[in-house]
């Protein structure tokens, strides 16, 4: 069953067609990467799904329910979680307490299970302020997971990470999707990350979807290479 359906979605800013007719369907438990050059509309698409922005036109369905135009807090309650790049971690609180703060009253996952999933069990009681950049990002992901999302939106989750941290983040994201219960849509530029993530990739250009396919197929596509990978691929 489709968890997320976007139907002819548009968002214009004056004359800028940031999102210009997007159709997208993600199944429950699906993992999907979203790539495209700067300014092609990826973050705007996330803002539309979370309700931070209203669509100019088009439909957004979560679990077959039309959410376009609902306020952001109601969309969050329907199970849409987003990790922001700006940090929401409290430095002086322990890792476990940060997760507890984020956990709603109907918490599905015990803190210890969440810590295990994040590979942060050994960091349970240290103040978040002493964590490495990568560990901190995992706490951030954990804080979103603590609210029991059905759809997890990640915007460049490995920005600034070392390559072992990036690899661990790939494993974490794959584990989350493998539960079958959380659908994940992740914006990322890092080619190594995309290759390891090993999932369908949707390529955006100028507010539209140019291609969807496996990483290998998308990377081999002449139009995608010219637009996005340049000479790097
Ligand atoms: P990406 O995340 O793919 O880099 P964005 O979604 O941030 O792209 O931006 C898509 C286009 O929409 C860009 O031209 C950007 O300048 C424009 N844009 C995004 N948000 C706003 C806004 N709040 N007001 C005006 N223009 C915006
Ligand atoms: Mg962006």
Interval 1-21: pLDDT, tens: 899 999 999 999 999 999 999
pLDDT(233) > 60: no
Atom of ligand 1 nearest to the CA of 46: 6
Q: Tell me the percentage of the chain whose pLDDT exceeds 70.
A: 95
Q: Rounded to whole angstroms, how far apart are CA atoms 225 and 233? A: 7
Angle at 65 between CA 60 and CA 66, to 5 degrees: 40
- What's the chain's length in residues? 233
Which residue ranges form the domains of the chain, and what is each CATH number? 30-55+70-229 (3.40.50.300)
DSSP for residue 161: -
Distance 49 CA to ligand 1 centre (A): 15
* Average per-residue pLDDT for the chain: 92
Report pLDDT digits (tens) over 119-145: 999 999 999 999 999 999 999 999 999
141 to each of 150, 189, 196, how far by Cα in Å? Answer: 14, 18, 19
- Residue ranges around ligand 1 (CB below 6 Å): 13, 16, 18, 36, 38-44
Q: How confident is the model at residue 223 (pLDDT cuts 50, 70, 90)?
A: very high
pTM: 0.94
């Amino acid at each position: 069953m489709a968890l997320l359906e976007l139907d002819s979605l548009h968002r214009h800013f004056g004359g800028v067609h940031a999102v210009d007719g997007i159709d997208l369907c993600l199944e429950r438990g699906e993992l999907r990467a979203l790539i495209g050059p700067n300014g092609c509309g990826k973050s705007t698409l996330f803002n539309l799904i979370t309700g931070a922005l209203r669509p100019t036109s088009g439909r957004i369905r979560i679990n077959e329910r039309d959410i376009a135009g609902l306020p952001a807090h109601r969309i969050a309650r329907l199970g849409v979680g987003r990790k922001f790049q700006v940090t929401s971690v409290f430095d002086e609180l322990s890792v476990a307490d940060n997760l507890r703060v984020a956990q709603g009253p109907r918490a599905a996952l015990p803190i210890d299970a969440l810590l295990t999933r994040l590979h942060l069990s050994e960091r349970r009681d240290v103040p978040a302020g002493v964590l490495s950049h990568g560990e901190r990002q995992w706490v951030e992901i954990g804080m979103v997971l603590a609210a029991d999302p059905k759809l997890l939106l990640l915007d460049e989750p490995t920005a600034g990470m070392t390559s072992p941290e990036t690899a661990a983040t790939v494993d974490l994201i794959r584990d989350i999707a493998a539960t079958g219960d959380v659908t994940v849509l992740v914006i990322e530029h890092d080619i190594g990350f995309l290759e390891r993530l090993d999932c369908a990739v949707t390529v955006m250009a100028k507010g539209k979807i140019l291609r969807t396919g496996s990483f290998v197929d998308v990377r081999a596509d002449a139009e995608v290479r010219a637009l996005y990978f340049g000479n790097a691929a």
